[in-house]
Amino acid sequence: MTKEDARRFMSRREFLAGGLAAFAGLPMLGKTGFAARPGTAPAGLDEKIGQMIMVGFRGLTLEADNPVIADIRDRKIGGVVLFDYDVPSQNPVRNIASPEQVGALIASLQETAATPLFIAVDQEGGRVSRLKEKYGFPATVSQKHLGGLDDAAVTRACAEAEAAVLAEAGFNLNFAPVVDLDVNPENPVIGGLERSFSADPAVVVRHAREVIQAYHRAGVLTTLKHFPGHGSSKNDSHLGFTDVTGTWSKRELEPYAEIIGEGLCDAVMTAHVFNAEIDPRYPATLSRPAIQGLLREGMGYDGLAVSDDMQMKAVSANFGLKEAVIRAVDAGLDILIFANNSVFDPEIAAAAAGILKGAAAAGVIPEARFDRSYERIMRLKRRMRR
């Protein structure tokens, strides 16, 4: 998709050409960025590929035999994502039991890494919150509740409280706010879970802005999701193919264009939704027209783009791992997330890294493509607190 193709999805007001001109000047989160470990050599291809992989793992503590240690030390993965419940085993014990335990676990993870990790969590508020009251964390409210009140001061106060909790524990990346429009209240994965502020893009932008700025003040990065819009879907992409061709509208792009244009966007997470009007073959996560076209060329976005969980069935049930990994990177993604919480595969980071190394060796993906993602990743990591 060319830039002209991308423009047809947005009005002139919405299309903020050059909207990321101020991105490089975004403020550092916290007092300083991280420092390189003493004696750290320049990154080679293996490390660049490793930084493009984020995984979920099991364990309340980091024991010596935990496979994630090899992922961090040997494969040099870029980050991990924590959960409170282990879905594959239907076990309530995963990574989160108390504030003290989470803080100790995150400290152990960071001590293991030569390059500081993204430590991520889905803490949207309300029903999608991993740091729950039953584990000793403060209660939260949903984005729908905040959007319904439509009081920026209330949203700011709630976001500041949540951001302080994440920062205290050691999280540096929240997979929030959701900027999907609540255009289908019966949507099983967005509207039905009260994850959207509103069906009105202006309300979504107003409250997402408050959330992002509150997290920045606390030194925590944020993520806009789920690009190019999951709010109109009738199905759950966790469970299978999700087609929004007949329900999606260009209004769902407005929150991204506005927030990117304001220079507030740290990262964008893609949706595994299929829209034949954007790409007649692939869902957004694997779609060059969606990511390189709409997001990067259309909105002038040169920041971090991450996948939703690559093990969700909208991708994994329709594409082999090799095709999915290569297409996601070719489409323009910088980090592939394997949450290991729909299926659990302790070798998934090694498998994904092997696929990307093979693609590089065969010339399927040029090394310059890995360089570009590595630059985006490290640019954002330099804004993290030590």
* Secondary structure string (H, E, C) spanning 60-125: CCCCCCCHHHHHHHCCCCCEEECCCCECCCCECCCCCCCHHHHHHHHHHHHHHCCCCCEEEECEEE
Q: Tokens in use for 347?
A: 């070798």
Under 8 Å between Cβ of 137 and 190:
no
Under 8 Å between Cβ of 109 and 62:
yes
Under 8 Å between Cβ of 219 and 30:
yes
Helix (H) / strand (E) containing 195: none
How deeply is 339 buried, as exposed, middle or buried, from its count of CB atoms within 10 A (0-12, 13-18, 19+)? Answer: buried
The single residue of 84, 238, 266, 309 carrying the catalytic annotation is 238
Phi and psi at 349, nearest 5°, equal -65, -40
Closest CA to 269 of 165, 140, 118, 145: 118
Closest CA to 124 of 211, 29, 219, 220: 211
The single residue of 180, 236, 308, 334 carrying the catalytic annotation is 308
Is 308 a catalytic site residue? yes
Cα–Cα distance between 86 and 209 in angstroms, integer? 32
Other Cβ atoms within 10 Å of 241 Cβ, number: 15
Task: Map tokens 């729908």 to a residue.
Answer: 144
Task: Map tokens 């992002």 to a residue.
Answer: 212
Helix (H) / strand (E) containing 123: strand 123-125
Under 8 Å between Cβ of 384 and 115:
no
Which residues are the active-site residues? 238, 308
